Amino acid sequence: MSRSAVTAVVTGHTQGLGAALAAGLMERNIAVLGVARGTAPALAERFGPLLRECQVNLSDSQALGAWLATSALREHIGASTLVLLMNNAGTVDPVGALHDQDPLLVARAVALNVAAPLMLAAAVVAAAPQAERRIVHVSSGAARNAYTGWSVYGATKAALDHHARSVALDYPIGPDACDAVAGVRICSLAPGVIDTAMQAQIRATPESLFPQRERFTALQQDGALTSPAQCAAGIIDYVLDQHFGRVPVDDLRTSGRQGG
């Protein structure tokens, strides 16, 4: 498939995995619309017109809804035959048991981690009826295993997993659809433990709030964290594979596409 016929939307493209995803896509000549609170000057300088940026507070559902009502998404997609949505932006806060959680931070986490990906998924599907649309929710092992102190983070990521399972039922992939436009494909994909600012934030969390902190500190000390670029390469290979979407909830570490 010609890369000129492919466009992508990446949330949280200004740092960490989001920046690596945006760069990796543009290195393959895929135009990217980056959606985040800030901008990425280094990416803009490096890739020029391949990158469009829209500053939107994704934790503000009303602001996101207002932006989605504009023509920005449709203008970026244009006549593309394949549109990729990378729902990457997210937050681990609030960390701690219920009595330590700020209710407003709970609301912000749900808006950023759940409402924004679901809103964007619906908007992208509606904006590109002519295209095959592939949606990646960046999930987490915390969606599938409970961790002390991560009730909000785990619950929001589990919501993405269940959304993907349900959407996959709405848009079943037929046995002969590997190379054809199949409408909508989706996967909630856990990428593994990545060396990003979020991991630094986790290591800085008091053990009283997150008793598993030492495990993540040890991963960093042992050099066991995946680089953002390596992880992004694996995710991009995964979403561009002809079989994408046949497994609606997956883990990059066990899929055979860790990147290189």
Render pLDDT for 29-77 as a digit per residue (tens, 0 to 9): 999 999 999 999 999 999 999 999 999 999 999 999 999 999 999 999 9
Query: pLDDT at position 2, please?
Result: 40
Q: Which sign, positive or negative, has the C-alpha torsion 209, 212, 214, 220?
A: negative
Q: Closest by alpha carbon to 8, among 185, 194, 160, 135?
A: 135
**Looking at residue 114, what is its pLDDT?**
98
Q: Note the pLDDT tens digit of each residue in 3-25.
A: 359 999 999 999 999 999 999 99
pLDDT for position 253: 83
Mean pLDDT by 10 residues, the chain (260 residues): 75 96 98 98 98 98 98 96 97 95 98 98 96 97 93 98 97 67 88 66 68 59 69 96 96 68
Ramachandran sector of residue 223 (left: φ over 0; alpha: ψ -120 to 50; beta: rest)? left
- Give pLDDT, residue 84: 98
CB atoms within 10 A of CB 158: 19
> Residue 216: its pLDDT value, please?
60
* Per-residue tokens: 18: 């989001």
Cα gap 158→141, rounded to integer Å: 9
- Does this model's pTM top 0.85? yes
pLDDT of residue 259: 47
